[in-house]
Amino acid sequence: MSDTRTDLAVEGMTCAACAARIERGLGRLDGVEDARVNFANGRATVRHSDLVDADDLRETVEALGYGIGAPESDRDAADARRQHDLGRRFVVAVVLGLPVVAVSMIPALRFDGWEWFAGALATPVVFWSGWTFHRTAARNLRHGATTMDTLVSMGTLAAWTWSMVVLLGDLDSHVYFETGVVVIALILLGKWFEIRATRRSGDALRALATLGTDHARLADGTEIAVEEIEVGARLLVRPGERIPTDGRVVDGRSAVDASMVTGEPVPVEVGPGDEVIGATINANGVLEIEATRVGADTMLAQIVRLVDEAQGSRAHVQRLADRVAAVFVPLAITISLLTLVGWLVSGRPAEDAFTAAVAVLIIACPCALGLATPLAIMVGTGRGAQLGVIIKGGEVLEDTRTVDTIVLDKTGTVTAGRMAVVDVAVPGDDRDRLLALAASAEARSEHPVAAAVAAIGPTRLPVDDFTNRPGLGIVATVDGEEVRVGRRSLFDDVPAVVEAAAINAEAAGTTVVLIGRGPVAEAVVAVADTVKPTSAEAVAAFHAQGLTVTLLTGDNERTARSVADAVGIERVVAEVLPADKAGEIARLQQDGSRVAMVGDGINDAPALAQADLGVAIGTGADVAIEASDLTVVSGDLLAVADAIALSRRTLQTIKGNLFWAFAYNAAAIPLAAAGLLDPMIASAAMGLSSVFVVSNSLRLRRFRGHRSTPVSGPIPVPEQELQPS
């Protein structure tokens, strides 16, 4: 049986209890493997077999008293309409409610029949402005459930009913029309702020989804729709245009602004052979690219999908909150009834007993609870996407808190994964000529080391003959001279001064290339992988986060130690076979460590999956990204520090939200039951708790990472003097 994912836009949810009830209802269907309902974005995500279809899921949701809304593309418009409706109801509540409050609270403003005046104005507020609460409460009661809206509806209707009984019965008691009016106005305001915050929290993801262009230009100048691009197509990108899809540069050089996708603040120089990401901006040169990934396979599409899935997830701490919320509303109603009975039995006036009972109902309503976790996750993951950091779910947030060790792959993670010349030793006087000859000859080779040597000569001399000697090097005729570039064995004679320089280079952990005109070696070129510009700063950031840093690599001990020393890593595990990397992670875990693994290659995937927290460098292999928990879109190791910091900040925000939501209710209910809390004050305090949760979550939008001050230029490692000692 196939595993299918279905997304539903659910309407009518008002709190976390609604989401939990829908989850339980969907989970009871045969064939449903997992059901998650996100109150913050109003969406249900269901994974199911072919035993159940989308119609079954819709019918289940509707049977529970909720509706199925517009498709995702129309969600923002639907949310805008709901926000507008809440705003209208709030305005009516304020306009009609202010005179009610004034005449009820200020004796000097009272006149004969003021109670009837207050009742006339309060009635449309209670029933029309508060209709959304009453409708939801009634619907839930029909299905034997209670929610936060049940408390609001019961409290406001009780206040209005008692007041009408006093008026119609001509009882000598106070009326509480102002209580219902104020409660509804304040809660409507809180709901308005909530939906506004929810729409804002999704801005980052919506912005990402619309980054791409809708057209592309083929190499021959023909314009086509982006949807028509096929893998292998040659595309022309002019200065200032967005790159239409992921691809590889085949011709041209330019600077590409990828900040909206990777979070990198500085444009990246690209040339033939370099990968480019769709939706990024070509800054100044004309590029011809070959499409490598199109449609749903592009980096941008994957980012949107991963963030979308993450926003529908939940942290483990939320599950405890859900269980508490499931019993909280019935408990609050029970406490309210006990308060009423207790006051009446003790001989206290009926109006005082009624006031205390209503205050308990109002103050017990934990509206903030429903937004505490999902809103923080939405804002945090959305902000991460803007910074090029993909957090794959609420569980990941908690894993970052417990991690105490971070293991770094070397090649492609700490280093650039590209060979570069780090130093040159030319004992003779003809340095420039010799290097120009070597660079021109190596330009004919496709070997990675040859590419590094070719880059040291800015000009090219004519090459008349070229021979590749596998395992040794190359021999060529350049500008009329025989040139040899390669290993010692390629030469008949290696002078002592050249040999000494070569030995020094090898001792430093670099790869040695000899150069000579004819059979005698004349110079030494030291080639090594280069450390990424920000790797040392990233390692320092890991230490500041309380992490023990380990370098894990298949390279020899000498080379690995050189890289580790360059960036400040103390512990090195070298000469590890790819298949054994996961075993090294497991050994650290057996020693009691909580391990985060950072890698980029296919050989890193098992270790990423084994680690408590897998972090993939987004420039690496797709399989590594799929096996990870966190992905940084750029190749910047400093972005990993940003990812960990943002994850921890988001989890901290969630815990702060939940603490406030629960602590507020736990502290206030006894005060209300004791008659020390007026219903109006209770409603104001309840509204403030929601405002706190919303504003606290939105603070994550201002998160700034370590990459605000860019570092440019590769850092050669090791930086050694190659002259003979």
- Model confidence pLDDT, tens digit, residues 51-78: 888 888 888 888 887 878 765 545 566 6
Q: How far apart are CA 105 and CA 103, in angstroms?
A: 6
| 573 residue type, one letter | V
CA–CA separation, 558 and 684 (whole Å): 67
Residue 158: band (very low, low, confident or very high) from pLDDT cuts 50, 70, 90: confident
Pick the closest to residue 187 from 316, 60, 97 (CA basis): 97
| Whether the predicted pLDDT of 178 surpasses 60 | yes
Q: Average pLDDT of 167-189?
A: 80
Backbone angles phi, psi at 629, to 5 degrees: -100, -35
Give the DSSP H/E element, type plus range, for residue 289: strand 287-293
Strands 548-552 and 405-409: parallel
**Residue 320 or 669, more confident:** 669
Res. 93 pLDDT band, cuts 50 70 90 = very high
pLDDT at 596 over 80: yes
- Distance separating alpha carbons of residues 529 and 273, to the nearest angstrom: 18
Least confident of 171-175, 513-517, 643-647, 648-652: 171-175
Would you say 44 and 61 are in contact if contact means Cβ atoms under 8 Å apart? yes
Kindly state the tokens that stand for 412. Answer: 């492609």
Task: Report pLDDT digits (tens) over 206-232.
Answer: 665 666 778 888 988 888 888 888 899
pLDDT at 475: 92
Q: Looking at the predicted structure, is the pLDDT value of residue 175 above 70? A: yes
Both structure tokens of 681 = 């004050």
**Residue in 409, 529, 612, 636 annotated catalytic:** 409
Considering only residues 452 and 635, tell me which one the structure prediction assigns the higher pLDDT. 452
Q: In the prediction, which pLDDT does 91 show?
A: 94
Phi-psi region of 509 (alpha: psi -120 to 50; beta: other; left: phi over 0): left
Share of the chain above pLDDT 70, in %: 82
d(CA 73, CA 123): 38
Of 135-139, 173-177, 687-691, where does mean pLDDT reach its minimum? 687-691
pLDDT of 342 higher than 50: yes
Beta bridge partners of 408: 551, 598
Which range is most confident: 36-45, 252-261, 263-272, 420-429? 420-429
* Cα distance between residue 98 and residue 94, in whole Å: 6
The angle, 0 to 180 degrees and rounded to 10, between the axes of the packed helices 114-124 and 148-169 is 150
User: pLDDT tens for residues 677-706?
Assistant: 776 676 667 667 777 887 888 888 888 877
Condensed to tens digits (0 to 9), the pLDDT of residues 407-417 reads 998 877 888 77
Q: What share of the chain is helix, strand, coil (3-state, %, to 5)?
A: 55, 20, 30
The pTM (predicted TM-score) of the whole model is 0.61
Q: Dihedral through CA 297, CA 302, CA 305, CA 306, nearest 10?
A: 140
pLDDT, position 358: 78
With 70 as the cut, is the pLDDT of residue 398 above it? Answer: yes
Distances (CA, A) of 206 to 94, 242, 372, 569: 34, 18, 22, 39
- Band of residue 318 on the pLDDT scale cut at 50, 70, 90: low
Q: 722 falls in which pLDDT band (50, 70, 90)?
A: very low
Among positive and negative, which fits the CA dihedral 205, 209, 213, 214? negative
How many other CB atoms are found less than 10 A from the CB of residue 118?
Answer: 25
Structure tokens at 476: 């060529």
Whether residue 558 has pLDDT greater than 80: no
| Structure-model confidence comparison of residues 669 and 662, the more confident one | 669
Place 569 in a pLDDT band, splitting at 50, 70 and 90: very high
DSSP string, 615-657: EEETTS-HHHHHH-SEEESSS-THHHHHHHHHHHHHHHHHHHH
Q: Residue 455: is its pLDDT beyond 50?
A: yes
Residue 618 has pLDDT above 60, yes or no: yes
pLDDT reading at 627 higher than 70:
no
Cβ neighbours of residue 81 under 8 Å, at least 6 residues apart? none
**Cβ count within 10 A of residue 467:** 11
Question: ω into residue 718 within 30 of 0, thus cis?
Answer: yes
Task: For residue 681, report the phi and psi dihedrals to the nearest 5 degrees.
Answer: -65, -40
Nearest to 452 by CA among 465, 461, 443, 464: 443
pLDDT > 50? residue 674 = yes
Residue 724 pLDDT exceeds 50: no
Q: What is the pLDDT of residue 511?
A: 78
Q: Is residue 716's pLDDT more than 50?
A: no
Active site residue 74: no
Q: Determine the pLDDT at residue 515.
A: 93
Predicted local confidence at residue 491, as pLDDT: 93
C-alpha distances in angstroms, 651 versus 326, 370, 395, 538?
23, 16, 10, 22
